[in-house]
Structure 1
């Protein structure tokens, strides 16, 4: 099952940990703050991208190989280390239970490529480490 998704992915952080019977876990690479809203119209002639600024992770001590994002409440756009290229297949992308149990979520999407994904953080905030497994890519829908 998971092997189907894994064959379409590149950029694993640690494939042996990420690939399992339930799917393939995807890891956090980038976080962007939403600065100004975009625009969506009927025909697409007035489509405007949202303006964002990158949020940099910070080391908690000098020995940290990977930094942390300490995110306040709000919505962010997140990107993954992995790249998906599956033109003929559609996969379900959903938040991992570990994320949801901390009040953090993103929409479930059906994808052939990985977009940046809106991540919603609760009032209490959350700390996410670079390369944290935040989403699971489920087997193709046929």
Structure 2
């Protein structure tokens, strides 16, 4: 039942395209390149964010409404156009087949909110268009 998932999602780019049977596709809003390592300790006193640089999408042709990220091999942090707020529910967030079949992936997570997600790009790189559907959010029961 898609309504179980959709009721927790805001910010759809095109809801009719993004909603499937019991799932919602999430779309790419921004990309950050990880430049310098962060730090994680036991107690959190020495927790440090990784240093990142925003990667700007580029338009391929004059007049294009949306740009492309041409990403080289490496790890990036991505954010979605959509937000999820399901304080009392957990959903599975996984990469879409279209991403995985191009050698690109991110971890599968159980989420009630959607944080920035690490995206791993293979040696050949990848091109991702603004608003590309890159992840699927579904109930863990499906």
TM superposition score normalised by structure 1: 0.97
Distance of 1:11 and 1:4 partners within structure 2: 16
Distance of 1:104 and 1:74 partners within structure 2: 10
Q: How does 1:122-141 map to 2 (within 5 A)?
A: 122-140=122-140
TM superposition score normalised by structure 2: 0.97
In structure 2, the partner of 1:3 is: 3
Distance of 1:30 and 1:22 partners within structure 2: 26
Over 3 Å counting, the alpha-carbon distance change for 1:4 and 1:22 in structure 2 is closer
In structure 2, the partner of 1:65 is: 65
Q: How does 1:22-61 map to 2 (within 5 A)?
A: 22-61=22-61
In structure 1, the partner of 2:80 is: 80
Distance of 2:90 and 2:127 partners within structure 1: 31
Contact 2:91 2:139 in 1 (8 A): yes
Distance of 1:52 and 1:2 partners within structure 2: 35
- 1:72 positional shift: 0.3
What is the SS of the residue equivalent to 2:139? strand
Contact 2:25 2:137 in 1 (8 A): yes
Distance of 1:2 and 1:45 partners within structure 2: 41
- Identify unmatched segments of 5+ residues in structure 1: none
Moved segments of 4+, more than 6 Å: none
- Identify unmatched segments of 5+ residues in structure 2: none
